[in-house]
Structure 1
Amino acid sequence: MTNSLVDSIVSKIHSTRHRLVYEFAGAGSLALAWLHSQGGSSRTVLEATDRYASLSTIELLGKTPDRFVDSNIAAAMATRAYQRGLRLGAGETPIIGIGCTATIATDYNKRGDHGCRIAVLDKTSLHQYSINFEKGARNRIEEETLVSKIVLNGLAKSSGIECVLPLALMKKERVVATNTQSSDPIENLLSGNIDIVKVRSDGSMSEHSTLNGLAFLSGAFNPLHVGHSELAKAASHMLRRNVLFDLSIQNADKGQISHSEICSLLCQFQWPHEVVLTREPLFAQKALYFPNAVFVVGYDTALRILQNKYYGGDNAKMLSFLSSFKAAGCRFLVAGRHWEGSYRTVCDLSVPKGFKELFEELPESMFRVDTSSSAIRQIIESSPVSESPKG
């Protein structure tokens, strides 16, 4: 009966639009096996990672926890999973992140309790499940099965499926379930509730009001290409600090871009790249949120920064920007670029007196890539679309 019910629940999960990233440690592998036991699991499971070594869990969390089997640890794992799902799912479908940390029977007697802590996170809610097992009442596979049932029940609940697997608990056992509201950092940014979202190389996100003393490569990154990556790498080497990619959700032509567009753009960035999301497209605004920053730009961008026509023809406005930018402790690192028939560098810029120190050259010997996102888009748009095979 249980096997048929598992099959029924898994089938219903696969029929929903929800997509899953699953992080588990100590137990919970059977839940993944159940999901993969039926066709359609590729529609549900984006990624699943068995954090069996303690160091693997530590790397996921970014710290060494006091206790591994802990509700806060499960919630942190679920958060990392959810944020990873936003990145992998490109914002097109609802995401669920699950974190499971457990300790179960093994080939020696453990001193502490057996049990699990499970967290299931979606866009609006964090559901948590906690239980300590009656020690010695079950063997290893039976405890593994119980953990996996709780995981599958949690996934079903967050997928809008009402039926659940019976747990057959011992008399003194009970699952403590809690539910709290959660929020999506990207949604918070879009709604104006926060100013900055930092997306780490593992896909995890954090909210900030300012970030001080960092280096940024700003752009639309549509698409991200090798020139961006190599420029960030060269700038990082010269500055001796990590360079983050700065992506504004406020597009100069289309206005604010959508959640799905943001996630689609983020999918391009892989380890070790880190990204910051803001609503600020202009360097004057960026300087307020990123004091003492170095902004890595190409010659063409630096040229526009110094042209009056981008300030309504008012030279005083341009000088005012440079003064406020300097006062914020910010400066530009300028990469040369092939421009109007020749290779141009900082030396070709007409920088007003008193502001030359704001424009530092990234030597050609360290970086030169003559390509651009707009050129790549033109190639993509002009290429014939091949017909997909039927079947």
Structure 2
Amino acid sequence: MRPRRTSTRLVLTAAALGVRAASTALPADALRLASSLYMLSSPPQLVALVTGGGAQLAPWLLATPGASNSILEFSVPYAKASLAAVLGHDPPQSVNAAVAESMAERAYERSVALGGGERSVGLGCTAALRSEPMRRGEHRCYIAVRSAAGVHCLALTLAKGARSREAEDAVVARAALATLARACGVDPPPLPGGGPFWKLAAAVLEASDDPLAPEVAARLDAEHADETFVAT
């Protein structure tokens, strides 16, 4: 009589391995704002280019019903050579307003080429965020949204060392979504506490890797974004 074979399946959870599992929940307010863009009578035909930070914007946009009627392309030219190929030149410094506007212009041209027509919209976002070891310069981002009406721009300097890298990336993604919404004529909702849409709620920050000490909270309160619009 043959011995019966048995099989054992070993399932290792993140907790068993000592690894903290990342949250997969998407922010409800970001999804609602994306949905409001898709529900417009003429939803934007968006091409987005993001580098250095803000890539969390992609799942927020793509996980919302209606994305297929609005999102044409979302690219992350992260490497220096990749960004240079997109822009057609190698910028001496990649995180500034001029680069964001050039990215938005290239994205807009791509949207037009893909058949976006008068609804073509190009988003460019470039950021320098938290790294290990801590970078010397400021943590900042520049965002530009190009449409037939003109160019909406946002510049934001983050409170250095106040957030984890993941939280900084979320702030940049929220700032990009808010700028896109304004360019499309949609007002982003304020946070429950009354702050601008791009600022993370205190509860989210407290759940990040860094404690929300009083002095850190004060620096977060001092953050502000500079927004401009230039008509074409």
Which residue does 2:6 correspond to in 1?
Answer: none
* 1:71 equivalent among 88, 94, 97: 97
Verify the 8 A CA contact 1:46 1:89 in the aligned structure 2: no
1:169-198 Cα deviation digits (max 9, x unpaired): 81332101111112xxxxxxxxxxxxxxxx
Matched, 1:15 2:65: no
The residue type equivalent to 2:136 in the other structure is R
Matched, 1:170 2:220: yes
Aligned residues: 180
Which residue does 2:107 correspond to in 1?
Answer: 81
Q: Which has the larger radius of gyration?
A: 1
Task: Give the distance between the partners of 1:154 and 1:45, measured in 2 at CA.
Answer: 16
Which residue does 1:36 correspond to in 2?
Answer: 62
Task: Give the distance between the partners of 1:106 and 1:142, measured in 2 at CA.
Answer: 12
Tell me, what secondary structure is at the counterpart of 1:47? Answer: strand
Task: Give the distance between the partners of 2:58 and 2:89, measured in 1 at CA.
Answer: 26
Which residue does 1:98 correspond to in 2?
Answer: 123
5+ residue gaps, structure 2, are: 1-25, 190-196, 201-218
Q: Provide the aligned C-alpha RMSD in A.
A: 1.6
Verify the 8 A CA contact 2:54 2:172 in the aligned structure 1: yes
Name which structure has the greater RCO, CA cutoff 8 Å, separation 6+.
Answer: 2
Task: Give the distance between the partners of 1:68 and 1:166, measured in 2 at CA.
Answer: 22
Tell me, what secondary structure is at the counterpart of 1:22? Answer: strand
- Single out whichever of 139-148 and 31-40 deviates more from structure 2: 31-40
The residue type equivalent to 2:184 in the other structure is S
Task: Give the distance between the partners of 1:26 and 1:80, measured in 2 at CA.
Answer: 17
The residue type equivalent to 2:152 in the other structure is H
Q: How does 1:141-290 map to 2 (within 5 A)?
A: 141-164=166-189, 165-168=197-200, 170-182=220-232
1:31-77 Cα deviation digits (max 9, x unpaired): 11100112221111101110110111111111111210000000000
TM-score normalized with structure 1 length: 0.44
Task: Give the distance between the partners of 1:83 and 1:166, measured in 2 at CA.
Answer: 27
Distance 1:163 1:172, change over 3 A: closer
% same residue: 30
Matched, 1:53 2:67: no
Task: Give the distance between the partners of 1:171 and 1:163, measured in 2 at CA.
Answer: 19
1:75-128 Cα deviation digits (max 9, x unpaired): 00000000110010252x501100000011123221111110000110011011
